[in-house]
Amino acid sequence: MIKIFVIGTGNLGGHLCRRFEAGGDLAFAKAGNQKTPVEIQLTGYYNKSGASVPGVSAPRAETLEELPPTDLILIAVPDDKIRDLSEQIPMTDAVVAHTSGNTSLDALSKHKNRGVFYLPQSFSKSRVPDFSKIPICLEWNTATTGDILESLASTMGSQIHHLPSEKRQHLHLAAVFMNNFVNHCYHKSQQILENGAIDPAILDALMEETFAKARSLSPATSQTGPALRNDIKTMNSHLELLPATDRELYRVLSNSIQNEFKK
Amino acid sequence: MIKIFVIGTGNLGGHLCRRFEAGGDLAFAKAGNQKTPVEIQLTGYYNKSGASVPGVSAPRAETLEELPPTDLILIAVPDDKIRDLSEQIPMTDAVVAHTSGNTSLDALSKHKNRGVFYLPQSFSKSRVPDFSKIPICLEWNTATTGDILESLASTMGSQIHHLPSEKRQHLHLAAVFMNNFVNHCYHKSQQILENGAIDPAILDALMEETFAKARSLSPATSQTGPALRNDIKTMNSHLELLPATDRELYRVLSNSIQNEFKK
């Protein structure tokens, strides 16, 4: 049985609370060569807002001073609040872990058993994540911590990766390109269609093919377009069509494509 | 029966030749309120390289001076070659159409019946496109031209859109963001993982969710990440991890996200 307490109930924390409450019956973990069931239990959660988490029956704690008995305290708050919050937790033998891609294990240095439980995914309140498809990247400082984090991750059905802080930071940076920047290009594309009074659905097939082709051929092999073929006339006509505020974006992306394929 | 001759057999032209040869039996088009079968036939093709097109039995023409009898001459060459090539075609009553997103109908002004047959998709030799899923954007100057282009598009099972040159240019620009720029962000992400000696498959789930979430919630609603929440510390640590040549790209994309959501 792993008893878990969650601090922070934003986009990620809220989904984790619901997943942990739902999770007992799915729980299996490796012990030696055997799979043995591992039960998990959400003992409670804490947030600054005082709001209760929809769909969760475990109680909200009023303070971090007196936590219920727990094996793991999982901190899912913005990066710049992690150290502060971890220091508000009274000294404990429980594992204290954060969920940040870009924060070192040292941010939890007050505590004996510390770890990282990072899910490289983009979470939103309105989309229920399928945790079994999301890899979990772990880091820890003691064997006890490693056992608890690995057992918990395996109960979620996820691929498990062991990544030290430095590699995790690279992964987090790569995730920004894969998610935030890709999504922003989607957004700009849609905005151009709207400004031109063109049905946005007209590019649905291209959006899908862009994903499928990069997945099947690799992005480097998939590249096409005016920047790649150094079609300056087309690029200039595109710059004229764009609002002035978007021209630098177009120029820098096109230059970056050209630099890549000159190599 | 629509007889088609194709000029240019690159990524798009080659796939079109094969599609037209395969297409007779699938062909249906609206005539009045009735669907009547429309047969299509590839009468031949021309390219500068002299190479024959794999999988195509129609003959390669040695010259544009003497073309086989044809209803439609479809030009699928780079944008800056379209006018020149169209002027090498002897005066004809056949429809002369190009396939470019960013070239005006006027580039074909030598010919009486001129049109545009633009498919907003990214084509590669090694991926067989499913034309029934790709919208076709048409423009024409005479009723005869419109009839032939609409019939041909409908035999391919595609959504048909009527777009004048100016709207088509906007669409083409939006397609660059949707495909070339999205794909480049995929590429950069993968490169960061490779440089960090991290298994690239670790972000497959994020790649998929980025697509699915933008499709289901809209890209504007889907955005998350350090730029959106103005997390300057994380952005600075990312800039330090990046090679100097990629920092401007990161900065300009992050600024663009911030400008968007300040509005």
The answer, for A26 touching chain B at a CB cutoff of 8 Å, is no
| Among chain B residues, CA nearest to A185 | B177
A49-79 as b/e, with b when 16 or more CB fall inside 10 Å? eeeebeebebebbeebeebeebbbbbbbbeb
Cα of A64 vs its chain's centroid, Å: 25
* Contact A165/B at CB under 8 A: no
Fold classified for A168-261: N-(1-d-carboxylethyl)-l-norvaline Dehydrogenase; domain 2 (1.10.1040)
A135 CB neighbours in chain B (<8 A) are 202, 205
Per-residue pLDDT of chain A (263 residues; tens, 9 = 90+): 899 999 999 999 999 999 999 865 444 444 454 566 788 999 999 999 999 999 999 999 999 998 999 999 999 999 999 999 999 999 999 999 999 999 999 999 999 999 999 999 999 888 999 998 999 999 999 999 999 999 999 888 788 999 999 999 999 999 999 999 999 999 999 999 999 999 999 999 999 999 999 999 999 999 999 999 999 999 999 999 999 999 999 999 999 999 988 75
Q: What is the DSSP string of B161-187?
A: EE--HHHHHHHHHHHIIIIIIHHHHHH
- Distance of residue A149 Cα from the nearest chain B Cα, in angstroms: 18
Instruction: Say whether residue B126 is in contact with chain A using an 8 A CB cutoff.
Output: yes
In whole angstroms, what is the distance from residue B50 CA to residue A216 CA?
A: 30
Contact B178/A at CB under 8 A = yes
Ranges of each domain in chain B: 2-163, 168-261
Question: Contact B188/A256, CB-based, under 8 Å?
Answer: yes
Q: What is the pLDDT of residue B156?
A: 84
Hey, are the CB atoms on B192 and A174 less than 8 Å from each other? yes
Instruction: Collect all residues of chain B within an 8 Å Cβ-Cβ radius of residue A199.
Output: 161
The reply to whether B168-261 shares the fold of B2-163 is: no
Residue reference for tokens 């076709």:
B136
Contact across the interface for B207 and A208, Cβ inside 8 Å: no
Residues 6+ apart with CB under 8 A from B214: A183, A186, A187, A207, B222
Does the beta carbon of A202 lie under 8 angstroms from any beta carbon of chain B?
Answer: yes
CB contact under 8 A, A260 and B187: yes
* A32 shares contact with chain B (CB less than 8 Å): no
Contact B252 A257 (CB under 8 A): no
The contacts of residue A118 (CB under 8 Å, 6+ apart) are: A99, A100, A101, A136, A137, A138, A139, A163, A168, A171, A172
CB contact under 8 A, B170 and A193: yes
Check CB contact under 8 Å for B78 and A187. Answer: no
CB distance A140 to A149 below 8 Å: yes
Report pLDDT for B158: 81
Mean pLDDT, residues B114-143 taken together: 94
Architecture field, domain A2-163: 3-Layer(aba) Sandwich (3.40)
Query: Which amino acid is present at B111?
Result: H
| Bridge partners of residue A229, in order along the sequence | none
**Contact assignment for B218 to A190 by CB distance below 8 Å:** yes
Tokens describing residue B136: 């076709």
Residue-wise pLDDT tens digits, B193-240: 999 999 999 999 999 999 999 999 999 999 999 999 999 999 999 999
Regarding pTM above 0.80, the answer is yes
In this structure, what token pair is assigned to residue A50? 């005082």
Indicate yes or no: CB of B176 within 8 angstroms of CB of A123: no
Q: Is the CB of residue B188 less than 8 Å away from at least one CB of chain A?
A: yes
Supply the pLDDT for residue A25. Answer: 44
Rg (CA), chain B: 23
Q: In this complex, is the C-beta atom of B236 within 8 Å of any C-beta atom belonging to chain A? A: no
Q: How far apart are CA B143 and CA A7, in angstroms?
A: 68
| C-beta separation of B251 from B239 below 8 A | yes
Chain B residues with beta carbon closer than 8 angstroms to that of A80: 231, 233
**How far, CA to CA in Å, does B80 sit from each of A232, A238, B83, B98, B102?**
10, 15, 7, 12, 10
Confidence of residue B25 (pLDDT cuts 50, 70, 90): very low
